[in-house]
Structure 1
Amino acid sequence: MKNNLLPSLAGVLASLFAVWWLHGFLTADQCLDAGGAIDYETNLCLSKNDQVIELATSSSMLVIYCLVIMIVSLITSSLIRKLFKR
């Protein structure tokens, strides 16, 4: 049973890391598109007069996250299963 669980767990962890990285990238892009700048010490989006710009997660971003989770998880677990069959 451990052999069947390990690839799935690795796939889920890899997909969570991928979504974490993608969220940071998309949030920074959304901030720059709104005319703001990112303060890397506080990780906030600031306007030209140093006011915080609130960024919302859109439904299209959530769909992208779900797709990334499914695809990365499937690919990672499949590759690990193939690697351990040898």
Structure 2
Amino acid sequence: MLEWVDVLLVGLLTSPREAGIYAVVTRCARASEVIHQAVRIAVGPQIAAAMATRARRQARGDLQPDDGGDDLAGLAVLPRPDRVR
């Protein structure tokens, strides 16, 4: 019940339609946070190992900005396809 309190409050302050939209958007945002966290867990140890061995250029080189425009998951960096082992 506590998970839906925000939706109920939005419904009380606005309309049921807007509360429904708010509910869908916030649940999608939570799903994208899970994906973002999974990527960080998968890539984090590789970056930490490169940083620990002072291979900062390798750490930077293994990552590239995601400029594909499909940044729904809020991912700032993704492994470069040619560097994935």
> What TM-score, normalized by structure 1, do the two folds share?
0.40
Computing the radius of gyration from Cα coordinates, the structure with the larger value is 2
> What TM-score, normalized by structure 2, do the two folds share?
0.41
Query: Which fold has the larger relative contact order, with Cα–Cα distance below 8 Å and residues 6 or more apart in sequence?
Result: 1
